[in-house]
Structure formats: C-alpha cells, structure tokens
Amino acid sequence: MSEPDRDTANGASRESPAPSHDDAKSFAHAHAGNVDLGVPSLVWGPGQERRLQLIRDRIPLTGRRVLDVGCGLGQYVRRIGELAGESYGIDIETARVRAGGRTTPGLVLASAGALPFADGSFDVILLNEVIEHVADERLAMHEAARVLRPGGHLVIYAPNRGFPFETHGVQWRGRYHFGNFPLVNYLPRVVRDRLVPHARVYTGRDLRRLWSGLPFRPIERTVVYPGFDGIRSRNEVLGRLLQTTLHRAESTPLRVFGLSHFVILERRGDGEDGAPS
C-alpha cells in the first residue's frame, strides 16, 4: 500500500479553547473566495472530542490506519494519530495543508475525487462535514470505497436539512454573509440552493443515494446536535443546558432537528452481496 510523505514536525497539544464566533467569521471573510470549501476546525475542543468519541463508541480506531478527507488544518488527524497510531489527511486547499503541516505530520495536498493512495490502503476514512463541499459527491464516495480495505469503515458527518439554522452563511445580492440563518433549510430546495450555492444539505434519503450501488452497508445512521462549545465559552450555564438537553434528545425522535447526519458505512468485500440501504 502506498505511504504518503510525512512531515517531521511535532504534534500540538490535544485540546485548545473553543474558537470564538469572531475567529470563525474572520477566517471566513479572509477566505471568502474559497467559501465553498467551508471553515475548518481551527482548534481542538470538547465538541470535536465528542464527535470523535461517538465514532470510537461504534468502531475501533486503535491500531488502524485512518484517513481524514478534507482535513483542513489537521485537527482530527493529530488527535486520531494519538489514538490510532497512523493517521493521514488530505485537503484541496494549499494554504491549509501548509499551515497544518507545521504542527501535524501526514497532511497531503489532494482532492477527494482523486485520492493519491493505492486500493485498500486504509481501515477508516473520515468525511467530517466535507461531502457537502466536494465537487462530485459520487466520485468522492467511489474513491473512498476504492482506498478502503474490505471490512473497513467510512464515517460521514453531513449537514441535516432538518436543522433549523443554515450554518454555512448565505449569498445575498452578490455578497457572502457569514453566520447562522434561521429556517433557510426549510425553504424549497431551489431557493435554498440559490442562497447557499457553496454547500449542500441532506435528508436521509439524499445520503442513501450517495452510497447506492457502492460496496457499502450502513451500520450506523442517526443525527447529532452541535457541541455548543461557542455558546458555552460565552455563557457557561446556557451552554451546559443546551448540551444536556439536546444531546439527550439524540436518542429521541427530536434528533430529526439535529445539526448533522452521522453515518458509518462498512466496506463490503468484492463480490459480496449488498444489504438493504
């Protein structure tokens, strides 16, 4: 299996304070020309740790070879490397790979639609809030299936159309406006997509179409709420209340209003009959 070049820089610390709304806004405006690529995780905080723990509760990471597709600055690559021992990341944005590579080894400049790895190279692939930004979703899924070994897992977090806020900002009168905009996702799709041409949003049916006909079987499909790190950094009481209430709601029908779909797909072996999606 192919081995990407690794940087020799040391990893950064495991956790940092949650980025503020102003931090994310500044990054978004500084990279407004590439707003379709999204805003990467700027630091590692409790919200990221929770997402990673949700994965670990369902599939093992220790001793496995993991690839983060659309890794941004490499926050997940660094943390997963502490657990799995061998982690890599790819991103299409040169500046992000260079910046992340100063502290995180294993980052490679590449596209989700043309992964520079041999067939069956990885045990786990992560698409964390990335599939909505790629140029060709099906091509990205085909590539993930190609570089996963049989029995490996593809983990997807993707925007839920049921969430009451559009978190990717909107385009209005030729300008990008950063922020969380209520009810945009509930508009007719043609209207919603004109306001947010830089990021897709998914129903459960939309996601199932992405792996239809590919050698995957779903082993987890649910919806999760945000980590609320930003709110908690400004108002501890409110942040804790939202975390306690809405994270419990993930085990109830109210999960349909959560922020993100959380899906884990197992790569079937070649020639193995598929299970219903």
| Strand ranges across the sheet with 122-128 | 107-109, 86-91, 65-69, 122-128, 148-159, 260-267, 216-224
For residue 34, the model assigns a pLDDT of 54
For residue 276, the model assigns a pLDDT of 47
pLDDT of 20 over the 70 cut? no
CB 225 within 8 A of CB 258: yes
Share of the chain above pLDDT 70, in %: 82
> The CATH number of the domain where 147 resides is what?
3.40.50.150
Is residue 166 situated within a structural domain?
no
pLDDT of 18 over the 50 cut? no
For residue 274, the model assigns a pLDDT of 53
Is residue 238 situated within a structural domain?
yes
Q: What's the number of domains the chain is made of?
A: 1
Angle, CA 127 vertex, CA 152 and CA 129 arms, to 5°:
155
pLDDT class for 273, splitting at 50, 70, 90? low
Is residue 14 situated within a structural domain?
no
Residue corresponding to tokens 């996702």 = 185
Bridge partners, residue 11, by sequence: none
Residue pLDDT, tens place only, 116-125: 999 999 999 9
Bridge partners, residue 262, by sequence: 157, 222
* Lowest mean per-residue pLDDT among 136-140, 172-176, 209-213: 172-176
Residue pLDDT, tens place only, 176-192: 999 999 999 999 999 99
pLDDT class for 21, splitting at 50, 70, 90? very low
Share of the chain above pLDDT 90, in %: 78
Angle, CA 261 vertex, CA 231 and CA 273 arms, to 5°:
160
For residue 86, the model assigns a pLDDT of 92
pLDDT of 33 over the 80 cut? no
For residue 36, the model assigns a pLDDT of 56
Which residue range forms the structural domain that includes residue 143? 21-160+202-267
Strands 175-177 and 181-182: unpaired
Give CA–CA dist 17/76, Å, rounded. 15
Is residue 221 situated within a structural domain?
yes
Is residue 179 situated within a structural domain?
no
Report which of residues 36 and 160 the model is more confident about. Answer: 160
Is residue 73 situated within a structural domain?
yes
CB 133 within 8 A of CB 156: no
pLDDT class for 238, splitting at 50, 70, 90? very high
Is residue 256 situated within a structural domain?
yes
Is residue 186 situated within a structural domain?
no
CB 170 within 8 A of CB 184: yes
pTM of the entire predicted model? 0.84
For residue 24, the model assigns a pLDDT of 41
pLDDT class for 85, splitting at 50, 70, 90? confident
Residue pLDDT, tens place only, 128-160: 999 999 999 999 999 999 999 999 999 999 999
C-alpha separations of 80 from 65, 88, 133, 135, 213 in Å: 10, 9, 22, 26, 30
Task: Annotate 45-70 with b (16+ C-beta within 10 A) or e (fewer).
Answer: bbbbebbbebbeeebebeebbbbbbb
For residue 29, the model assigns a pLDDT of 46
The set of residues, in sequence order, having a beta carbon less than 8 Å from that of 89 and lying 6+ positions away, is: 67, 68, 69, 71, 74, 76, 77, 100, 104, 106, 107, 108
Q: What is the mean pLDDT of residues 247-255?
A: 97
Give CA–CA dist 171/152, Å, rounded. 38
Give CA–CA dist 191/197, Å, rounded. 10
pLDDT class for 97, splitting at 50, 70, 90? very high
